[in-house]
A and B are shown apart, each in its own frame.
Chain A
Amino acid sequence: MAVAEAYVPTAAPPARRDRAVRAARGRLDWLAVGLLVLVTLVALAAPLLAPHGPLDPVGTPTAAPGTEGFLLGSDSVGRDILSRVLYGLRSSWLAALAVVTFGLLFGGLVGLVAGARGGWVDTLLMRLTDGFLALPAPVVAIAVVAALGPGLLNTLLAVSLVWWPFYARILRGEIRTLAARPHVEAARLAGTGGVRIALKHLLPGAIPAAVVTASLDIGTLVLTLASLSFLGLGQSAPAPELGADAARNLSYLLQNWWIPVMPGIAVALLSLAANVAGDGVRNLMSGR
């Protein structure tokens, strides 16, 4: 674009085509959101979908993908990698959803109280939130799990502990903006109580922003949880976990690459699906 382009007047596209394009995009967004449901269903149905038990040695060790009936190959003790990946996917996905849900509920509550009450409550809660936001979340999470001891529950606890402040900030911002709107003022003049205003006049307006943030966040969470698991902070040995399965099988990387790589690809697909779905949710909510 170093040279100025000639001005070419473009005819406005016919309205009907425009509408068709928009409808197609809307359908794509719904498809993306459908992906979210699909992944959740796969996660829930993992025990039904997995051809073998995730802990059972069922065949020759280190079989290549697609051989001996192993779609993704078998690991060093002859366990079916596909089955382990499906179970790992289940725990990763449900863990990410659990953390997001906790973040939304707890962070949302903090943000709602701070925004609706204002004054010193607002200052106190937001200083606390800022304090958490000022610290690097993954680092604090690692310290917490290291102190409590590795394990799925402790990891969830640690990540939830550092994840809610984002939501508190966003909710509080939305609530403050809404609180200045005429309908809230009208409610206050009508003598509506503080709690009722917060729940009926402020909260509903703030929910879309929170949901959009949450859905865009799931992908990041999947990655964060996987790296904690990779560092050895997740469930202990035989349990199928995507990050840990990759880390424990690093020594096979050069001879049997699929053993550590397959769980990694599963994490990538999971986070990609979450990101695509998150974009879809955002587009639908913002009414593009």
Chain B
Amino acid sequence: MLILVAKRLTAVVLILLALTAVLFALEQTSTSDPIKTMLGPGASQALVAQKRAELGLDDPIAAQYARYVTDLVHGDLGTSYRTRRAVSADIATFLPATLELALFGLVTAVLLAVAFAVATTLRWPGAGAFRLLLMVGASAPAFLLAIGGIVVFYRELGWLPATGRTDFVDAPTGPTGLLTVDALVHGRPAVLGDALQHLLLPGLAIAVGPAVSIGRVLRSSLVTTLRTDYTRTARAKGLREVEVMRKHVLRNSIGPALSMTGLQVGLMFAGVLVVELIFAWPGLGQYTAQSIPVDDFPAIAGVMLLLGVAYVLINTVVDLLQAAADPRIEA
């Protein structure tokens, strides 16, 4: 197990180095010129040359890359051309809203996936309709689910809010930045309920697609496990169906679904970026979308690096969890 952990951690370091190399290479080829953006188009030749030297843009590429990685390790993601603040500070401002939405979406996706898989495997009544609904939903882009949700549940029915994280102007802003958690910490159940209402539409919009992918994998491993001899034995010795499912079937079917969940996180990130734009969600998606039209590459690269690191770490943890749960998996 220790060897496995060491191997995986080495792989993580190598992959992250590759990611930084990709981002660095992209920055080199980027069409946006940092000097021009900073000094304006009318800057004199001398001033441009001086600024280039100051920023070390005339150094050899290898030296620039080494400096880039050193800065990253120290948490320095560069300066945004647009906000003129440190990208790391910008990200710290926008991260909590995105984190809350992404976590809510992930939990929703897993719950939907389990319901989908169990209902269709055990042929619960209504499972067919539920399945059809999810399958059609998974073919729709997240942005269609989001705007469709707004038209139906906000404009027509008036059940759910359409923009932002909360209607409370005095909603707590600390200590975690996750509104639902902060509301609990400050003992404000009304704010918690309101925050959950605001999370529901964007969360569902990003959850449906991944839910179907995870649910399909879970379903096929459930079907396989249900056919095993030990499941038959468990039934034959008179265990109640609920116990059979909980102790023998679900537990042994969870592995592949867990892997799929890790992989779906990448797609979910893209969903979050898109959905934030629609719901005026004050997170990294807004930040990215505002950075794209003005070619603010440091800002975009900073967000993408963060998402890339999160993705790699999540999938490594998933791998290790699986190895811990199933001794048959080895390095």
Contact = CB atoms under 8 A, between A and B. Distances in A.
Interface string B307-319: 1100110010000
Contacts of B311: 135-136, 139
Interface string A1-25: 1101000000000000000000000
Question: Interface extent on B, as a size class?
Answer: 35 or more
Given A143-B304, A223-B141, A227-B271, A136 B265 contact: yes
A246 B277 contact: no
Interface string B103-140: 00000000000000000001100000000000110011
A111 interface: no
Given A2-B242, A247-B277, A261-B147, A136 B155 contact: no
B297 A146 contact: yes
B274 interface: yes
Interface string A134-176: 1111111011101111100000000000000000000000000
Contact of A243 (B23, B141, B151): B141
Q: Which of B29, B148, B293 has the most CB of A within 10 A?
A: B148
B241 A246 contact: no
B241 A231 contact: no
A105 interface: no
Interface stretch (A49-57, A80-88, A200-208, A262-270): A262-270
Interface string B232-272: 00010000111000000000000000000000011101110
Given A131-B18, A268-B139, A136 B308 contact: yes
Given A147-B31, A253-B151, A272-B136, A227 B266 contact: no
Interface in B2-32: 11, 14-15, 18-19, 22-23, 26-27, 29-31
**Looking at chain A's contact residues, is the secondary structure mostly helix, strand, loop, or mixed?**
helix
A135 B308 contact: yes
B266 A136 contact: yes
Given A261-B147, A275-B139, A231 B242 contact: no
Interface string A244-288: 001100100110010011001101110110010000000000000
Contacts of B235: 4
B161 to A, nearest CB: 13
Nearest to B137: A268
Given A1-B122, A135-B15, A135-B312, A267 B141 contact: yes
Contacts of A150: 292
Given A148-B29, A254-B155, A232 B292 contact: yes
**Looking at chain B's contact residues, is the secondary structure mostly helix, strand, loop, or mixed?**
helix
A96 to B, nearest CB: 13
B237 to A, nearest CB: 13
A148 B270 contact: no
Interface in A74-97: none
Interface string B43-68: 00000000000000000000000000
A233 B292 contact: yes
A247 B304 contact: no
Given A144-B26, A231-B274, A275-B139, A264 B289 contact: no
A243 B147 CA distance: 12
A139 B242 contact: no
B209 interface: yes
B194 interface: no
Contact of B270 (A138, A149, A265): A138
Contacts of B265: 136
A224 interface: yes
Contacts of A271: 139-141
A116 B312 CA distance: 30
7 contacts: A140-B308, A142-B304, A146-B295, A148-B29, A246-B143, A253-B150, A253-B151
Interface of B: 11, 14-15, 18-19, 22-23, 26-27, 29-31, 122-123, 135-136, 139-144, 147-148, 150-151, 155, 209, 235, 240-242, 265-267, 269-271, 273-274, 277-278, 288-289, 291-293, 295, 297, 300-301, 304, 307-308, 311-312, 315
Given A135-B308, A264-B144, A264-B147, 19 more contacts: A1-B122, A4-B235, A135-B312, A136-B269, A136-B307, A138-B266, A143-B304, A146-B295, A227-B274, A231-B292, A232-B289, A232-B293, A254-B155, A264-B143, A264-B148, A265-B144, A267-B141, A268-B139, A271-B139
Pairs of residues from A and B, 9 with the lowest C-beta to C-beta distance, nearest first:
A136-B266, A264-B144, A138-B270, A147-B26, A272-B139, A268-B140, A143-B304, A136-B311, A147-B30
